[in-house]
Structure 1
Amino acid sequence: MTESSEISNQQEIIVNNSNSATTDIRELNEKIKHESAFVDLVTMEMDKVIVGQKYMVERMLIGLLSNGHILLEGVPGLAKTLAINTLSSIIQADFSRIQFTPDLLPADVIGTMIYNQKNEEFTVRKGPIFANFILADEINRAPAKVQSALLEAMQERQVTISDKTYKLPEPFLVLATQNPIEQEGTYPLPEAQVDRFMLKVVLGYPKKEEEIKIVRANISPDGMPKARKLLHPDDILKARKTVREVYMDEKIEKYIIDIVFATRNPKEYKLDKFAPLISYGGSPRASINLALAAKAYAFIKRRGYVIPEDVRAICHDVLRHRIGLTYEAEAENISSEDIITEILNTIEVP
């Protein structure tokens, strides 16, 4: 199917389904094409610095454009810090890195009151959370009270120091990392807190050809290339509003709901074999985040409407940390990835 015929079909759907107002999908598509042009420029600049992590960069942009946070799981040395630092530089935003350790305190993250002997009064010392881009490195190494302080800030977009509330800067993106191998001395994130991350992205090693490029860039006498400053934080806030304008048909909405409901009630979708393997499924937040992420994915693909492939492309990252597995699933070596894949293969695509 050509893009023009696809747009024509989408336009017909809108006219048939709209009860209150008719959306001109062609006009919207042109607007999205124009306003999403910066995505290609940002990606090109990121590619100058980051080799072999296109998937991670794309997911970072999806999280940024849909106002969600990202949990990254991968071994050290995969350019996670470099990626978010480079993105913040391109957008001319503030970047802060917090190394989570067992002795970290909530005040070390959000800030505290300091007594000034000269003025004989308390003054606020804001913590590293007051930045646009936060890298929460090895978040599972800090105790629960520190994790809670960060996750509350992520949810509320504000922190309370003493008895005063302070708004966090916008845009605000938290990229939290955890090492899948080292479990000793870690504090696993509770399910309710993991659910606050829009995406959980699992990173793998680069390919051999990509690693050759990485080595060459790091040993070059010219040093690592630098990314240009292209945008302003206000451009991201504007783009977020445009992302929400991306059209989503009722059939796509129902498709999303069916996918999430299948994680809760697999028997209703002829997935009886998964019933004893799932301890809990995705919450309404999963449905919301899947819809928002699908819109952001359509936006970075420079389309003004969501298609089923957008939902399927982002589904694993939205749901993999929202499905609880029973001991039986672990005994059978069944992962949430396997369950999501089977759900996508079973649910009828609109």
Structure 2
Amino acid sequence: MNPVSAILRDQHDAGHIPVMLPEVLEALAPRAGGRYLDGTFGGGGYARGILRSADCDLWGIDRDPDALARGAELAAAVNATDRARLHMLAGNFGDMQVLAAAHGPFDGIVLDIGVSSYQIDQAERGFSFRRDGPLDMRMSREGPHAADIVNRTDEAELANIIYHYGEERMSRRIARAIAIARAEAPIETTGQLAEIIRSVVRQDRSGIDPATRTFQALRIAVNDELGALTRALEQAPDMLAPGGALVVVTFHSLEDRIVKRAMTHLAGRDSRPSRYEPILDARGPSSPFRLGHTRPVTASPEESRINPRARSAKLRTLIRIPAASASIREPS
């Protein structure tokens, strides 16, 4: 049985398929006695794979109470009476330095950016329009939810959210339709919102539902996902042990651009603004980091066929050079 098929069989009962697990494990290369951090525990797929790969210790971070409960169940299964291998931490991965730095340095840190299959599949969480449910989308189940944004945000600002976070070209048309509809009655469910969007945006040749990009934008805004990702990329490099790897899996271009830019900068691979501009000082100190690969790793054709969520996934890796002890920070 090949690795992808084995993973699908192993994860079937848990209802969660970790995207690109073989590639993640190859990039992390878990070793006995190592320390690892899963900043987006979710369904626990990566954590389970890491703990099975080596006799190591792992810390998992998540802000979703349901994910923390799943982590507690896994910890009960893998922790021995004389040694705890899995440690769960409640919070946002964008605050990983506060939450987990004291347990490092880490030989590997992994981040899976986006919504988990558990959250998508639960209609009451309001992440998906496939099943009608309350317009919520909160990963932590705290604070303002998507209905607040949809019903209370100024039309122009709402259009900007949909455009910037969803990369939706029809953002103004969608915001106008939402403003007209909410003037009649509050928009409270995922089904209501999806139908409003579909009434003004036709499905394109890609076959993607017209509501997809708007739902993505709202989810990102509700959970400050790009802000959390940016903060995590600022903190994680300092938490790596020499030779340690930061592995990030993203699912859309906004996330991938942020990860690519941060890793390229840390590895000293920034491109020059123009080929005509001189390099003023090429004698500066070498970077303490290197890229694990120059191009993002994508899912295998088999995994993409079996697990549609993997089709858009991109994996990037940053490695702390073993001899280095200090990180490079972008000037403020």
TM-score (norm 2): 0.25
